[in-house]
Amino acid sequence: MIDQEKEIDVLESEFPSLSGSAFSLAFNNARKSGQSVFVAENDTIYEILPDGTRKEVKKIEGPRAYKVGEEIKLR
């Protein structure tokens, strides 16, 4: 059982870099294929066109900390 826990710990520690790599690959592949991508930066959603042009799409609410058990309403 301890070996399984160690293996899970190793896999969990690798997840952040693997997910970052996967996101970067998907982002670049979308742009190379001529598609726009959307990103959220500084409380704003931007559309990034294949030529690199950035268009502001919408202002959004920034990140917020929540307490465990806090109820929230989705809009």
Beta strands in 9-69 (DSSP E): 37-41, 44-48, 54-59
Under the banding of pLDDT at 50, 70 and 90, the label for residue 1 is low
d(CA 14, CA 61): 30
User: pTM higher than 0.75 for the full model?
Assistant: no
Q: Give tens-digit pLDDT for 27-56.
A: 999 989 999 999 999 899 999 998 889 999
**How do the domains of the chain map onto residue ranges?**
2-59
d(CA 44, CA 54): 11
- Bridge pairing between strands 54-59 and 44-48: antiparallel
